[in-house]
Chains A and B, each alone.
Chain A
Amino acid sequence: GNSVTQMEGPVTLSEEAFLTINCTYTATGYPSLFWYVQYPGEGLQLLLKATKADDKGSNKGFEATYRKETTSFHLEKGSVQVSDSAVYFCALSGRYSSASKIIFGSGTRLSIRP
């Protein structure tokens, strides 16, 4: 079955540091891939997505590239800010089922020090 494995946290960085959160997946066919962000006490918000191989999703300075050859969708940001502190979830969705479930990774908590 489909699955998502993401880097365990917590991850603590200083402001302006480079961020990478690793995500790899197992899926049949060609899933869509997502990164969601959850700020404290809130629901999840879509951060970015990619729907086919070599697509790059980007938003708010974050980027992730759909790599079919390595089955990966790593999240990167060149210079993090304190406001980026949150929990980040990698997720995938099968393409062909109308009731396809979105499978989430376990989440990575990111803390940014001023």
Chain B
Amino acid sequence: SQTIHQWPATLVQPVGSPLSLECTVEGTSNPNLYWYRQAAGRGLQLLFYSVGIGQISSEVPQNLSASRPQDRQFILSSKKLLLSDSGFYLCAWRASGAAGELFFGEGSRLTVL
């Protein structure tokens, strides 16, 4: 069966520090991968999605970036965090070429101080 994991689960970082959140999927190949952010009390904002290795689409301009170095690995990064980057980050996958549901990871809560 397919599983998705993301880490770390909780992160407290100072303003200006770098960020790396990692997500891996097991049990499937060539998935579409997604990063969402959920700010406190708000809905889900799609940040990035990827349909293949090295292929990244950005939905909103910001100081975050994403990379997909391997088929089932998706990384969210920042060189310098801002206070506004605080939130709950969710990685998700869905089968390639399908219009089915997304499967979400457990989430990573980032607090920037």
A residues neighboring B (CB under 8 Å): 31-32, 34, 41-46, 49, 51, 89, 93-96, 98-102, 104-107
Q: Is the CB of B104 within 8 A of A32?
A: no
The stretch among B65-73, B75-83, B93-101 that forms the contact with chain A is B93-101
Contact A99 B49 (CB under 8 A): yes
Q: Which residues of chain B have a CB within 8 Å of any CB of chain A?
A: 32, 34, 42-44, 46, 49, 51, 57, 59, 90, 92, 94, 96-107, 109
A43 to B34, CA, bound (A): 13
Of the residues A42, A89, A94, contact of B99 by C-beta under 8 Å = A94
B106 with A42: CB separation less than 8 A: yes
Q: Verify A32–B99 contact, CB threshold 8 A.
A: yes
Given A43-B90, A43-B107, A46-B101, A98–B43 Cβ distance below 8 Å?
Answer: no
Q: Using Cβ atoms and an 8 Å threshold, which residues of chain A touch B97?
A: 98
Specify which of B43, B51, B92, B101 is in contact with A34 (CB 8 Å cutoff): B101
B101:A89 contact, CB within 8 angstroms: no
Q: How far is the CA of A105 from the CA of B42 in the complex (A)?
A: 10
Q: In the complex, how many angstroms separate the beta carbon of B48 from the nearest chain A beta carbon?
A: 11
